[in-house]
Structure 1
Amino acid sequence: MVALVNKIVLSLFMLVTMFVTMQIMDGVESFSFIPRVKLYIQNRLPNLQLSFHCKDKYRDNGFHTLPPGKVYTFGFAVTPFIINRTQWFCLFSWDEESHYFDIYVQIRDSCGICVWTIQNSGPCKVYRSHSDCFSWPIKGEHELQGRKTLLISNTSTQQESPFALKPLHSHGRD
């Protein structure tokens, strides 16, 4: 009898483990308590290839390039319930220009499917009946500007430091 109870408990534990694992895996379609977002980025730059690199605090979506008119998509799970902390930011670059933009901010973007077009003047969030367009943030005013090393950490070229590092408690000694 004890062996049967142990097998039942072990089986339930395995089922719960598989269910939780499927909930946190990207790209797995299943019944979910954790909300997911599918984000689309379309290149609307005239005759220019768009390069971009998107990250959140924990995940790096890598470097990508898009020819004009093409769409790139990726999905992710958002922070469940009322915490509203999920935020994805991207570095977009083309033809000697580069701009940071928070492509997904959970408290701003309440969408399960988010569609963005990237243009010279800025990104536009596309809805069925209209678009909300944003201008590119001024480089010094972007809230993640000081953390841009997150975006350039995977590059092999020499990059400038976003801020000077000073030792803590130096007391005038070098």
Structure 2
Amino acid sequence: MTPEFSRQLDVRQIEGKHVHLSPNEAERAALAERFSLVRIDELVAELDLSTSEREGGFQVEARGTLKARIIQPCAVSAEDIPVSIDEPLFFRFVPMTTGYEPDEEFELTADELDEVEYDGTHVDIGEAVAQSLALAIDPFLTGPQADAARKAAGIGAPEDSGPFAALKGLKLGGND
């Protein structure tokens, strides 16, 4: 399956490049559908790329910023909420490795958490930006009508339910 916002770059030709990425209207609409957004009005990534040799090929590092203006539904009332996103970006593309078995346990270091494996000579920087956008979206965003929607549905506020709700009414006191 081809990602909605694919931008393939040849790892052998990107050292020191600056990349400006912005999906067109159709790509923004497809991404909005994928991430359950009302729409994406703007999405821009500015990235500086660098490469280094690594066992099995090139390692590519991308550093920059992600800026977006999205319309997201409230998690409770479904009202449209405008959201601005301004996030730093850093990810590293590394050659795909086959040095572990599927059921084998292994630990990732902090440096390995933003690594994206690639196979061949191309990386998809657009898909990496799309995934970064997905991580920046608040899945529990609520708007000004959320409390009214909860009340209409007979649901209390989040702090009025759950394992600590019973403790809310208790008062701490000394030994009298």
TM-score by length of 2: 0.29
More helix by share: 2
TM-score by length of 1: 0.29
Q: Which has the higher contact order (CA 8 A, sep 6+)?
A: 2
